[in-house]
């Protein structure tokens, strides 16, 4: 029996019992959709996380105080001690110390609680911040009462009717500061200081003079190209051991976090894929059950075919092709459902949506394999029927 005849007879059989075909398609479609959606979402989450770090740069690092309750609120090093860091660590291309404190910010009679960052002149450049309006703070501003505000403070000012913030005055620590710039909303990740979007940045030396505190809360920096990250971290750790032995800094690098994130996302994708495969197996078992019911209902048809000269392999081939087509159509529907589900979740989370070839090829390949695997047993059962016994079936 030629292959196209198998497909013709299989199509005729599927169309003759639409309800049974629909139920079988539903099971396999849900299984394929689960695999497609979960694998796609895993890839999208990975790409979204990597995009945030790539925007910041893989050469970025941050040095902060160790997570220790006994040292809450303390700095990691005096500002004057940071001068020796570039000489002692040649792997470091540039760095920017900063300090974080808290103050009430008053503007036009309205007040808000806000983080206040004391920053050096190169803080904006090291963090790759984009200025939405005005200009960033520079070395010229050190010891001056100028400030740059984050998006949250800008929104608070818009709510009280101030649309042009540049030149406006803020009362911070009972001192009047002039706004010279507004920072565009920066992507949030675990390396960049979280206070950038929510707070006010003022010159470091101005903050030191007002508060009398010389302690640096953290240091952001960038490594030179093609340096050994582990060696650079060890180098920086050695510097701090010499300067402040009683405090151990916590050093994080972008490349280290990207590596950890890749491992976690790969594990998540694997887990989601396993869950999808379980759903797929359930769908495959459903296809097999439908095919077994089909064999039982068509015993008389099988008996007539065998009596007219059809061979066992002809009967077996027809049912295998029928299961294959069933799963292939279910796979097409599942791919569409899976892509739609991944798109909906991406839109809801405001992620950049994309679909790679991997889940689509996986959907086609797996659906075909499921059809062949779960269709073999019903086809084998059909081919085993003896013509006389099959013709006696009611």
Domain closes at, from 247, 282, 297: 247
DSSP H or E segment with residue 200 = strand 200-203
**Residue 36 domain-assigned?**
yes
Classify the phi-psi angles of 179: left when phi > 0, otherwise alpha if psi is within -120 to 50, otherwise beta.
Answer: beta
Tokens, residue 205? 């030396």
| 127 and 236 share one domain | yes
| 265 and 383 share one domain | yes
What per-residue confidence (pLDDT) applies to 245? 66
CA distance 328 to 284: 12
Contacts of 69 (CB under 8 A, 6+ apart): none
**Residue 61 domain-assigned?**
no
| 89 and 231 share one domain | yes
Contacts of 84 (CB under 8 A, 6+ apart): 239, 243
| 217 and 277 share one domain | no
**Contact present, 65 and 247 (Cβ < 8 Å):** yes
CA distance 243 to 240: 5
How confident is the prediction along the chain (394 residues), in pLDDT tens digits per residue? Answer: 566 666 777 777 777 777 777 877 887 888 888 888 888 888 888 788 777 777 777 788 888 875 443 344 456 777 777 777 777 788 888 889 999 999 999 998 888 899 999 999 999 999 989 999 999 999 999 889 999 999 889 998 999 888 889 999 999 999 999 999 999 988 777 788 888 888 999 999 999 999 988 888 889 999 888 888 888 888 888 888 777 766 677 888 888 888 888 888 788 778 877 877 787 788 788 888 888 887 877 777 777 777 777 787 888 777 888 888 888 888 888 889 989 998 998 888 888 888 888 778 877 787 778 878 888 888 888 787 777 766 665 5
| 232 and 86 share one domain | yes
Question: Which own/partner pairs from 167-174 qualify as long-range (CB within 8 Å, at least 24 positions apart)?
Answer: 168/107, 169/107, 170/105, 170/106, 170/107, 170/200, 171/105, 171/106, 171/107, 172/103, 172/104, 172/105, 172/106, 172/116, 172/147, 172/200, 172/202, 173/103, 173/116, 173/210, 173/211
> Across the chain, which distance is largest between two alpha carbons, in Å?
104
Q: Which domain holds residue 340?
A: 3-53+259-391
As separate numbers, helices (DSSP H) first and strands (DSSP E) second, the chain gives: 13, 12
CA distance 36 to 41: 8
What per-residue confidence (pLDDT) applies to 308? 75
What per-residue confidence (pLDDT) applies to 68? 46
* Count of CB atoms situated within 10 Å of the CB of 87: 9
**Residue 286 domain-assigned?**
yes
| 84 and 230 share one domain | yes
What per-residue confidence (pLDDT) applies to 179? 95
Return the DSSP state at 82.
G
Domain closes at, from 196, 221, 247: 247
| 91 and 113 share one domain | yes
| 100 and 165 share one domain | yes
* Residue 43: C-alpha distances to residues 31, 32, 213 (Å): 19, 17, 46
Nearest alpha-carbon partner for 363 in 120, 1, 116, 31: 31
Q: What is the per-residue burial (b if ≥16 Cβ within 10 Å, else e) of 25-57?
A: bebbbbbbbbbbbbbbbbbbbbbebeebbeebb
| 9 and 96 share one domain | no
What per-residue confidence (pLDDT) applies to 66? 57
Tokens, residue 181? 């710039």
Query: Residue 107, SS3?
Result: strand
Q: How many domains does the chain have?
A: 2
Domain closes at, from 247, 267, 287: 247
| 201 and 234 share one domain | yes
Query: Residue 133, SS3?
Result: strand
Nearest alpha-carbon partner for 95 in 187, 216, 243, 260: 216
Half-sphere exposure of 40 (CA within 13 A, CB side): 30
| 150 and 94 share one domain | yes
**Residue 252 domain-assigned?**
no
Query: Residue 354, SS3?
Result: coil
Tokens, residue 52? 């945030």
| 99 and 242 share one domain | yes
CA distance 283 to 300: 28
What per-residue confidence (pLDDT) applies to 71? 44
**Residue 243 domain-assigned?**
yes
């Amino acid at each position: 029996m030629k292959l196209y005849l198998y497909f013709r007879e299989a199509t005729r059989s599927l169309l003759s019992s639409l309800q049974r075909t629909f139920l079988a398609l539903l099971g396999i479609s849900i299984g394929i959709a689960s695999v497609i959606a979960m694998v796609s979402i895993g890839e999208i989450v990975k790409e979204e996380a990597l995009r945030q770090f790539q925007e910041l740069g893989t050469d970025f690092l941050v040095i902060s105080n160790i997570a220790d309750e006994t040292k809450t609120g303390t700095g990691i090093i005096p500002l004057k001690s940071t001068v020796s860091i570039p000489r002692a660590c040649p792997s470091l291309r540039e760095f920017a110390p900063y300090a974080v404190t808290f103050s009430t910010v008053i503007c036009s009679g309205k007040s808000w609680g806000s983080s206040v960052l004391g920053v050096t002149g190169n803080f904006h450049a090291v963090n790759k911040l984009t200025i939405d309006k005005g200009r960033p703070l520079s070395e010229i501003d050190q010891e001056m009462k100028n400030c740059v505000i984050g998006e949250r403070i800008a929104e608070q000012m818009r709510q009280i009717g101030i649309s042009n913030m540049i030149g406006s005055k803020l009362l911070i620590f009972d001192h009047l500061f002039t706004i010279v710039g507004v920072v565009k909303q920066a992507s949030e990740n675990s390396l960049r200081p979280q206070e950038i979007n929510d707070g006010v940045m003022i010159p470091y030396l101005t903050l030191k003079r007002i508060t009398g505190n010389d302690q640096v809360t953290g240091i952001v920096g960038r490594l030179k190209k093609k340096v050994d990250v582990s060696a650079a971290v060890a180098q920086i750790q050695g510097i701090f051991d010499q300067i402040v032995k009683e405090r151990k800094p916590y050093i994080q690098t972008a490349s280290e976090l990207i590596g950890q994130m890749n491992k976690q996302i790969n594990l998540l994708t694997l887990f989601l894929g396993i869950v999808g495969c379980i759903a797929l197996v359930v769908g495959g078992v459903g296809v097999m059950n439908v095919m077994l019911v089909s064999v039982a209902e068509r015993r008389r048809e099988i008996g007539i075919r065998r009596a007219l000269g059809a061979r066992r392999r002809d009967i077996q081939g027809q049912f295998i092709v029928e299961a294959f087509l069933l799963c292939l159509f279910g796979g097409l529907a599942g791919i569409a459902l899976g892509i739609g589900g991944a798109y909906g979740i991406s839109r809801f989370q405001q992620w950049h949506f994309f679909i790679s070839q991997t889940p689509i090829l996986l959907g086609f390949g797996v659906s075909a394999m499921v059809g062949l695997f779960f269709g073999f047993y019903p086809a084998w059962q059909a081919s085993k029927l003896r013509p006389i016994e099959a013709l006696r079936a009611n």
